[in-house]
Amino acid sequence: MVTLVLRWGGHVMIVSGLSKGVSTISLGGFLRNSGAERYLYLAPLLMAPFWEEVLMRGFLFQAFRGSYSALASTALIVGITALMHSDQFLQSWAAVVSISAITILQCFLRERTGNLWDCIICHLVFNSTAVLTSSLRRG
């Protein structure tokens, strides 16, 4: 639910003109093309939650937690996420806010539940709703 609120908040900032939107290659390809091939562009958006969460929350966050507090570990993960998504961070302050907030939420989920699936589902919902909100902005 929090993931949907974050996505909605980002959408509101963009459509109200407070910030510009960000389009990734995958999302742009999906929106520009028609027919069955357009769905090939969604594969990276839908697969990223699986490999990113295993790396970020499954490995790195847990490794940092071996030496640092939950807050410090989360801050390190936000920093690494900013580097991994630097193209989006440089384009829009709304992306900085929403991606950082979802990263903090995912670290909280990992810390609280110890379950990586919660993080994967959260990330999957966040990416999936990007397709919906981008389609709404376009249409």
pLDDT digits (tens, 9 = 90+) for 84-93: 999 888 888 8
CB 98 within 8 A of CB 10: yes
Q: Where are the alpha helices (DSSP H) in 23-115?
A: 25-32, 42-53, 61-65, 70-84, 86-91, 93-113
Q: Give the span between the Cα atoms of 36 and 58, in whole angstroms.
A: 34
Q: Give pLDDT < 50 ranges for the chain.
A: none
Predicted pLDDT of residue 135: 62
Residue-number span of the structural domain to which 36 is assigned: 2-138
Confidence (pTM): 0.79
Predicted pLDDT of residue 16: 60
Q: How many domains does the chain have?
A: 1
| End-to-end C-alpha distance for the chain, whole angstroms | 25
pLDDT digits (tens, 9 = 90+) for 109-124: 999 999 999 999 999 8
Q: Give the span between the Cα atoms of 107 and 47, in whole angstroms.
A: 19
